[in-house]
Structure 1
Amino acid sequence: MKVVFMGTPDFAVPTLQKLIDCGHEVIGVVTQPDKARGRGKAVTYSPVKEKAVEYNIPVYQPVKARDPQFIQTMKDLAPQVIVVVAFGQILPKEILDIPEYGCINVHASLLPKYRGAAPIQWAVINGENVSGVTTMYMAEGLDTGDMLMKTEVALDPDETGGSLHDKLAAMGADLLIKTLDAIADGTLTATPQDDSQAGQYAKMLTKTMGEMDFSKPALELERLIRGLNPWPSAYTKLHGKTLKIWRAQVVDKEYEGELGEIVEITKECFIIKTGKGALAVTQLQMEGKKRMDAQAFMRGYSLKTGEILPD
């Protein structure tokens, strides 16, 4: 099948690779414009562009997908299907109407729940037991098109945003191929989304989301830590420096003391009082230092009970 692939981040790469491996004719790749990153402002390619260049696939990088010249380029390519995976721009109707078999999106949630930009992380933060991937026809609304196929995965107790990302990226690639196969043999059926079942909008992540509020229950904070791992990460302040918390366990015990107070220190962790229960910090990263276990951190850092975070 002649395919134009639209995607940008790491999550989209396995689907592009699968399309290539399965023999589909990827006639063009559309991704976000190159960006200058780091102190040296070196121009870097998106992960999808890197993969496209590896296979000598033509790459298109419109600043705006609604640009008339870009729309004409897509019409000239005449793809049978456009596959979209975390592209990063909303497509206008002029593009949605181009391919014979429509525009198919690989979305990292079980729609209609978690429409939006960051469904993977919010599934962890909100304590979902199950997540998954949905393929869908794209419509003019945000993640509102008819659903095609779904696949599910149970979340592990220690699931992070990063680990779920990798699982769903691989699952999404397989599901997309199954969806295209069903299109080819005429067995694909589309199911309209029930808007009444739409859950929380999975808004984009920001760095400020990671600031820990110890008035919240320990269970919520532990989920936040896992959901924001590896980016943007959960953090607090210790002695005026940013302290990222990478792993913690919920302690089902009510301690005396103030919210955010370090109420107990053991060989393996230190325990912080929260709005409900407490949080045992087992892996962390001090500003300017490497990630390490709390045990190693406490061997080289003076930490005392009674200190209150953020400090």
Structure 2
Amino acid sequence: MKKKLRVGIIGRTESLYHTAKLIVNNPNFEIVHFITSKEAPEYTKKASDFEQLANDHNVPFINSPKIYEDHKKIIKSSNPDIGISMNYTSIIDSSIINIYKMGILNAHGGDLPKYRGNACQAWAILNGEKKIGLCVHKMVGGELDSGDIITRKYFDIDFNTKITQVMAWILLNTPQLFYEAIMKLSTNPSYILEKQSTNTNKISRCFPLNPKDGLIKWSKSNYEILRLINAHNKPYSGAFSFIKDKKIIIWDAELSFYSHSIYAVPGQITEIKRIGEISYVEVACGEGILKIKKIEIDRKIISPDKYIKSIRSRFI
């Protein structure tokens, strides 16, 4: 009888939760511990959900922002073959990775090694990339998103792609990509798809974005502003601007162009339109026009013409 692969779960997110659910129901694998920490505000699965899974399967559960010495003893006692990790709150060092006979795999929502670090999907949208990568790679102690790539998949994007769509794609594909990776390694422990380049010209580090970074600068081009709106879209707090002192979050927009020249200060409302059920306002940008189709004011999502009534209005 084939020995079950003993798997440790480390991290957060609904993607990791669904991966654990996939593995726990597979007769080839056995989950031997869960390690998690406090969830981010946008996560739909909480530490308590991972705790419930651990309780259901009678395995150790650790809720901590960092893995300490007493936690290492618990990990060792569970005798894991391999770990799978996603969005844990601290970098995992070699002394922890080495407890796992086959190391620890990490799922990373970025095209490695070009996009390492935080908010990689948002940065890829902001930078106008044509695709976003999802990689499962081996972790290297004390390093961020380095190590050999085991499995990888791409999602094609353009200037209309919202991060909402990207996150849904990652949620759908992460469990299967993790599963493929551990299946490959269970039959060939030395398998790799690709070694990450050590050429610094091919490596980038992404740093976190925060809600204030969603402030729209209308002096930028309509392409840049649209990418900002899409990068800060749900489940995040949204790109925003102001008319007078009223904060307006913009959730849906698209590019627009005029066949004639216009002279307008960036942020100026240039058109208010309603055709049947379709309504929008158009705004002058540093270059081009942006058509705004859905906004949020005072926690209510409305069509922009419900609030913006005059072309004398201007975003600031």
Matched, 1:142 2:141: no
Quote how far apart the aligned CAs of 1:77 are: 1.7
Equivalent position amino acid for 1:238 in 2? I
1:275 aligns to 2:286 (yes or no):
yes
1:151 to 147, 150, 153: 153
Report how far residue 113 of structure 1 moved: 1.7
CA contact (8 A) 2:229 2:250 kept: yes
AA in 2 matched with 1:293: S
How far apart in 2 are the matches of 1:11 and 1:117?
Answer: 16
1:150/1:48 CA distance change after superposition, 3 Å: farther
Q: Do the aligned partners of residues 237 and 137 (structure 1) sit closer, same or farther apart at CA in structure 2, a change above 3 Å counting?
A: same
Q: TM-score, normalization: structure 1? A: 0.88
Q: Distance in 2 between matches of 1:198 and 1:48?
A: 36
- Indicate conservation of the 8 Å contact 2:36/2:62, yes or no: yes
Check the 8 A contact 2:38/2:47 in 1, yes or no.
no
SS in 1 for 2:71: helix
Contact 1:6/1:83, CA 8 A, preserved across alignment: yes
Matched, 1:246 2:251: yes
How far apart in 1 are the matches of 2:221 and 2:303? 23
Secondary structure at 1:163 match in 2 = helix
**Structure 1: stretches of 5+ with no match in the other structure:** 38-43
Checking the alignment, whether the CA contact within 8 Å between 2:125 and 2:231 is kept in structure 1 is: yes
- The aligned runs of 1:194-233 (5 Å cut-off) are 194-196=197-199, 198-230=202-234, 231-233=236-238
Decide whether aligned partners of structure 1 residues 124 and 11 sit closer, same or farther in structure 2, where only a CA change above 3 A counts: farther
Q: Distance in 2 between matches of 1:129 and 1:238?
A: 33
Q: How many residues align?
A: 297
Query: How far has the Cα of 1:45 moved from its partner?
Result: 9.7
Measure the CA separation in 1 of the matches of 2:137 and 2:171: 16
Q: Against the structure 1 CA distance between its residues 194 and 81, is the aligned structure 2 distance closer, same or farther, given a 3 Å change threshold?
A: same
Partner of 1:285: 296
Q: 2:281 aligned with 1:264, yes or no?
A: no
Q: Please report the RMSD computed on the Cα atoms of aligned residues, expressed in angstroms.
A: 2.3
Pick aligned residue for 1:304 from 300, 305, 310: 310
**2:132 paired residue number:** 131
2:262 matches 1:255: yes
Q: Aligned letter for 1:163?
A: Q
Residues in 2 aligned to 1:151 and 1:279: alpha-carbon distance in whole angstroms: 32
1:192 corresponds to: 195
Measure how far apart 1:215 and its partner are: 0.8
2:49 is the alignment partner of 1:50: yes
The equivalent residue for 2:15 is 11
Query: How far did 1:193 drift?
Result: 1.1
Rounded Cα–Cα distance in structure 1 between residues aligned with 2:239 and 2:175: 30
For 1:133 and 1:237, how far apart are their aligned partners in 2?
36
Alpha carbons of structure 1 residues 303 and 199: separation in structure 2 relative to 1, 3 Å: farther
In structure 1, C-alpha distance between the alignment counterparts of 2:119 and 2:176, rounded to whole Å:
21
SS in 2 for 1:266: strand
Per the alignment, in what secondary structure is the counterpart of residue 32 of structure 2?
A: strand
Q: Which residue of 1 aligns with 2:99?
A: 98
Report the identity percentage: 20
1:302 deviates by 4.8
CA offsets 1:117-141 (integer angstroms, 9 cap, x no match) = 2112222222222122111110121
Query: Shift in Å at residue 22 of structure 1?
Result: 2.6
* Alignment deviations for residues 55-102 of structure 1 (CA, whole Å, 9 cap, x no partner): 62432012322x211122212222111100112211121101111110
